[in-house]
Structure 1
Amino acid sequence: MEVVTPQLVSTATASPQSVSVFYRITALWALCEALLGGVLHALHLPGTGLFVGGASVLCISLLAHHCPSRKAILKATVLVIVVKGLLSPHSPPGAYLAVFIQGSLGYLLFLGKNYFKLSCLLLGVLTQLQSALQRLVIMLIMFGSDLYRVAHEFINYILKKAGFAEGDYVLYIVIGYIGLHVLMGVFVGWLAGRLPGMLKKQQHKLDLSSFAYSGDEVFAALPRRKKNIWKRFFPFLTISVCFLLGVSVYFDLIVYNTAYKILLRAVIIAALWIWVITPLLRKVLHRWSTTKRSALASELDQVLQVIPYIYRSAKFCWASTAQFSFLKRLLLFPGRLAAIVI
């Protein structure tokens, strides 16, 4: 195990393997947040919390395993937030909050090495619960409790026409949504507890003789998130809610006033969030990250130095799985990349 101490390394002469494992894991976590999270947020794909949160749990567990002090998790959290702001500046403020919560949970849960697997399991479950509840709270704030009643009446209307009994199916859907995240948390926590041993086995299998590092390829090759204003104004959730309200009004399931009330509330809150709250939060985050960037200049240099190495390692890992099917390549790729980087 390595002690987390800043060690100044010249990017021109030293290899990334000479950088502390703390900075290598932190760089891997930052890339997962900035690139994977940025792509999923940009495309408004469901399951962002499942995958990005799962990757965060794995990285935090590796930090807890390799670093003697759990304060390293808090330090890594700050570095990840700053690097995420550099590589993915248009990420929503909620994404930064999620990173902070995940890092704080890791710091609180990893009290000792004797309870490592239990801590991983708790971290996986709590992180996924936080992700699920965060989205439910956002929907409740944006559309209000009336949306629950509309969805309840609409689903029962459809099922009644199909000959099924009425019931509180919306509640079942919400419970199922939370349950899916809990199951994912259990799986990720179980995997995180066994990850260090799995990576050691993977390292013995890999042939790294053909892999050489070159630091010249870096940030130009990293994909950047392009700001798409239409995707910000018309996400899938808003379109779905408008469709639900329109159909409900058409079939006289709700009165016009209720539909107008829900839409007006959503428009006002969305406008405040997009044009008032988000810009203010981004200014605060920018000011905070600028301050931290100056205070943690040497640590940031270590993390940024490893990023091009991870990028080249990713290309090597993907090429090394060329003989497998696409699905199997996706399953093998993360483990091989982590094994090389760490």
Structure 2
Amino acid sequence: MISRRFYRLIALWVLAETFLGGILHAFRVPLMGVFIACFSALFISLIYSATGSSRKVIHATLIVLVFKMLLSPHAPMIAFMSVGLQGIFGALILHAIPSTKIGRLLVAVFAYMQSATMKLLSLTIIFGMGFWDALDEFMVSIVQYFPVLSSILSAKNLVISYLGIYLISGIIVGLMIGRVSLKSRRGDLVLEGIHSTPERSRNKNTGMEWPLILGLTVIYFIPLFPDSFREMSLRAAIILTAWHLFLGPLVKKLLFKFLGNKKSGMIREINLIEGILPELQDNLKVSWQAASTQKAIRRFPYFIKTWVQISL
């Protein structure tokens, strides 16, 4: 059924954005957009293929943004803007391009280049900074990301290399996404341990927040790590604790009040997707175990493909 796949694909996108995106933003991983844009392009393309509707893609993007607000507290505002732009323009591209493979390729390239230049766009469009001043600030931020390379390459060449990495990654990912089908292969895939994975209640809290907070706190007290990394870990632990205990429930209450009463369509959809997430987390673990048998260069693509196909 289209409706079933529609909500399961949204749930996959939510999990990728909040779980992976939240970790990458918390630790300020360089080139994190290379990883996050991959998921946006993939699920935007698959949702359009499942529904044939650009409106459904935009609707799915809105739901993902709601979950990102609830589950990914350290993501900056620029991350929400990226998801929104990728969803809107992805829907328009896929609607305008009749070829599935070419459409998906363009969606991936757009997602990657938009992610690479989001800081420049936000400085000019949102903060009203002049283009050349914003470009200088953009170049400085890239140089600060790669202090070692900045001693080898000029700022101009470093920026060109940075954009080139995103462009090439977008083309490679777009070609790979073009070959992904919506056909579920759960019964065809030979996954060791897939039937032995215990079923969990869909409404049961996964309880992953406190172990993560504990791990981040412990890192702060280990002197082997650099001071900047230890301070970052402690800051992430404090943010997660405050969000989990106080801010998260408050924001969720206010957000649900804004969306309407629990009989509204949006609330029902949010509750439905929230119930699917634990199952998809189990599939995440199974897929990673299956991918561990692959060669290093094929491991990540195989993991993503397997995770999607056993979750449909």
Distance 2:293 2:151 in 1: 48
Aligned partner of 1:61 among 45, 54, 58 = 45
Kept in 1: contact 2:18–2:71 (CA 8 A): yes
Change (3 A) 1:285 1:311: closer
| Structure with max Cα Rg | 1
Deviations 1:12-42 (A, max 9, x none): xxxxxxxx11010000001111010000011
Task: For residue 145 of structure 1, give the secondary structure of its aligned residue in structure 2.
Answer: helix
Measure how far apart 1:222 and its partner are: 3.5
Distance 1:293 1:50 in 2: 36
Which moves more between the two structures, 330-339 or 301-310? 330-339
Distance 1:75 1:188 in 2: 24
Measure how far apart 1:83 and its partner are: 1.1
Measure how far apart 1:201 and its partner are: 6.2
Does 1:305 pair with 2:275?
yes
Deviations 1:213-234 (A, max 9, x none): 3226843334477598xx9xx9
Distance 1:190 1:94 in 2: 27
Distance 1:144 1:57 in 2: 26
Distance 1:32 1:147 in 2: 27
Kept in 2: contact 1:293–1:300 (CA 8 A): no
Does 1:339 pair with 2:303?
no
Paired position in structure 1 for 2:111:
127
Deviations 1:190-212 (A, max 9, x none): 11211117x65676233555456
Q: Which amino acid counterpart does residue 13 of structure 2 have in structure 1?
A: W
* TM-score (norm. length: structure 2): 0.70
Distance 1:337 1:185 in 2: 21
Distance 2:310 2:260 in 1: 28
> Identity percentage over the alignment?
26
Which runs of 5 or more structure 1 residues have no equivalent in the other structure? 5-19, 160-167, 237-282
Change (3 A) 1:46 1:235: farther
1:127-146 mapped onto 2 (5 Å cutoff): 127-136=111-120, 145=136
Which runs of 5 or more structure 2 residues have no equivalent in the other structure? 221-226, 230-249
Does 1:114 pair with 2:81?
no
Measure how far apart 1:326 and its partner are: 6.9
Paired position in structure 1 for 2:201:
215
Distance 1:62 1:146 in 2: 36
Distance 1:73 1:158 in 2: 43
Change (3 A) 1:97 1:290: farther
Distance 1:39 1:83 in 2: 15
1:322-333 mapped onto 2 (5 Å cutoff): 323=293, 329-333=299-303
Task: For residue 45 of structure 1, give the secondary structure of its aligned residue in structure 2.
Answer: coil
Change (3 A) 1:135 1:148: closer
Measure how far apart 1:304 and its partner are: 0.7
Distance 1:317 1:147 in 2: 37
Task: For residue 74 of structure 1, give the secondary structure of its aligned residue in structure 2.
Answer: helix
Distance 1:317 1:73 in 2: 26
Q: Which amino acid counterpart does residue 145 of structure 1 have in structure 2?
A: D
Aligned residues: 264
Aligned partner of 1:186 among 162, 165, 171 = 171
Distance 2:197 2:137 in 1: 58
Distance 1:106 1:325 in 2: 31
